[in-house]
Amino acid sequence: QVQLVESGGGLVQAGGSLRLSCTASGSDISINAMGWYRQTPGKQRELVAVITSGGVWQYADSVKGRFTISRGNAKNTVYLQMSSLKPEDTAVYYCYCNTGWASEDAWGQGTQVTVSS
């Protein structure tokens, strides 16, 4: 069973930067992919960025050129470097992990990112 712990959220002004981190832990985990989703009230949870164990990544069109996803050396940690933040980026950001031969999904508890005008 996988547990995800996120950190790095907070309050920033428009144009500022934040770095989110997420670490996966558990017994004998095999990570296929890790990434980030975000959600605001009244909206569906949307994909922000995902990176696979092989290093292939995808970004939402709305964050391309501003956000960068990366894996830590231990490969159980994922980072999201967010720059040029906009008020529209305000959301709860959730770490995502897909693990195991059965391709099971896991979610973090979420971390709040608030961007002021």
CB 1 within 8 A of CB 107: no
Beta bridge partner(s), residue 33: 52, 98
pLDDT digits (tens, 9 = 90+) for 37-96: 999 988 999 999 999 988 899 999 999 999 999 999 888 999 999 999 999 999 999 999
- pLDDT, residue 55, reads 85
- pLDDT, residue 75, reads 82
Structure tokens at 38: 């975000």
Phi, psi of 88, rounded to the nearest 5 degrees = -65, -15
